[in-house]
Amino acid sequence: MLRFSLRGRSVCFETFDKRLETLGSVRESCTIFNNSSRHTVSKSRLRCLIDSETRSNGTKGHRFSSTTPTSTSTATTPTPEPGKTCLYDLHVENRGKIINFCGWLLPVQYQEAIAASHQHTRTFASLFDVGHMMQTLVFGKDATELLESLTTSDLKNLSKGSAVLTVFTNENGGILDDLIITKDDDHKYFLVSNAGRRNQDSQLLLQQQENFKRQGKSIQLQFLHPLEQSLVALQGPTAASVLRSIVKINLKSLTFMNSVETTVFGSRIRITRCGYTGEDGFEISMPAKIARTLVEAILDTPDTKLAGLGARDSLRLEAGLCLYGHDIDEETTPVEAALTWLVAKRRRAEGNFPGAKRILSQIKSGTEKKRIGLTVVHGPPVREGACILTPEGESVGKVTSGGPSPTLGRSIAMGYVPSELAHYGGGILVQVRGKTYKATIAKIPFVKTNYYTAK
């Protein structure tokens, strides 16, 4: 999961749909809003990183009513009105092509093709609006214990100001969500989790808070609403120089997966060095009242552009990063997803996290299935749901994410196969529209990452 970004508008929808199909956008059904008209792009499944495509039902305290009911056999059920981040007007003004993603109106692209935006991010810097993501503060003297009771991370030994990628797990070891936890102090944490899991994550935290309170423990939760707290991701090789011209902090000492708070335009903001693209970059959390001012200051710097969900998806795929609800879900363990490293050494020894019995058994004895990377030199883009077959034609798995790689100039994908077949360099087949194509099992990430470690 990482660091993110978004932006674009004005193209005939038939051409746009073909462009998405060609460039490997995401498929599920989504709605595109253009001025006053509303059009549906058939099976368009645009997705982000680490975000689930499950639609959010809104946030506590901020309900969205709908005038478009969904029919059932017995009654009509209102559909929640899509939410808007505090940068929505900026996207419209910059001709962003807006879709309904996870219950939020976000740009899939701007005037540039998705591949061009992708390459710009790899060469310069792009800004993505990820204000739909769930931001949460967890604090109190028992905050560490609460979060460790739900995740596989070692927060006790995490340094102040450091961030860690982790997962909420269930009692069977399945992944409920992936998230980044930043440790502000021994008793205070900042969480960023997926928009499509907002309801599930908030309920999980609230229920555990209630359990802890019954034991006389002290925990407080604060859910930050997207209309009150913005979140953007500045990603790319020139991201640090762009940000250095705006904030007065030493970015050279801020390494990958570390966070700092500072004051800009009279307000406190949080800058975390991380990303969902594989490039150097930052995630910036800030009050909504200064969001547009800060974003426009960033965009006023040379070679910095807005980018949308389409480029975000192709970038994270090249970086081999999982998308919740596709590459990982409640039925998949961290070990099966090739994310064993998310289970901290101390937590393995203690075995006191949800699903520990199954996860520790898999670490010791192996798994029946494993996430792999695939490259296809010749043939059409390989999409989610495509069958993976042995060279003899036996179906052994499914693709969970896939599309063209603008950087590599070939089709890439991720999926699951039996562990005995998951050998790097091994030959395999993928099936697209009834035809089979040769593929090679590849190491992940597909494109070398460029995270800043000061080494």
Q: Which residues are annotated as a binding site?
A: 283
Q: Determine the length of the chain.
A: 455
**Quick one: tokens of 202?**
């908030």
395 beta partners:
389
Q: How far is CA 210 from CA 203, 206, 249, 412, in A?
A: 10, 6, 39, 44
Q: Give the count of beta carbons closer than 10 Å to the beta carbon of residue 183.
A: 24
Contact (Cβ atoms closer than 8 angstroms) between residue 164 and residue 181: yes
Distance between CA 295 and CA 59 in Å, rounded? Answer: 25
**Quick one: tokens of 6?**
């978004």
Distance between CA 1 and CA 163 in Å, rounded? Answer: 12
Q: Is the peptide bond before 334 cis (omega within 30 degrees of 0)?
A: no
Q: Which residues contact 159 (CB under 8 A, 6 or more apart)?
A: 183
For the chain, how big is the Rg over CA atoms in Å?
21
Distance between CA 341 and CA 335 in Å, rounded? Answer: 8
Pick the closest to residue 152 from 132, 179, 131, 124 (CA basis).
Answer: 179
Distance between CA 436 and CA 389 in Å, rounded? Answer: 9
Contact (Cβ atoms closer than 8 angstroms) between residue 310 and residue 302: no
The helix/strand/coil state of 124 is coil
CA–CA–CA angle 201, 401, 367 (5° rounding): 75
φ/ψ of 128, rounded to 5, equals -115, 135
User: Residues marked as binding for substrate?
Assistant: 283
284 beta partners:
232, 271
Distance between CA 294 and CA 90 in Å, rounded? Answer: 12
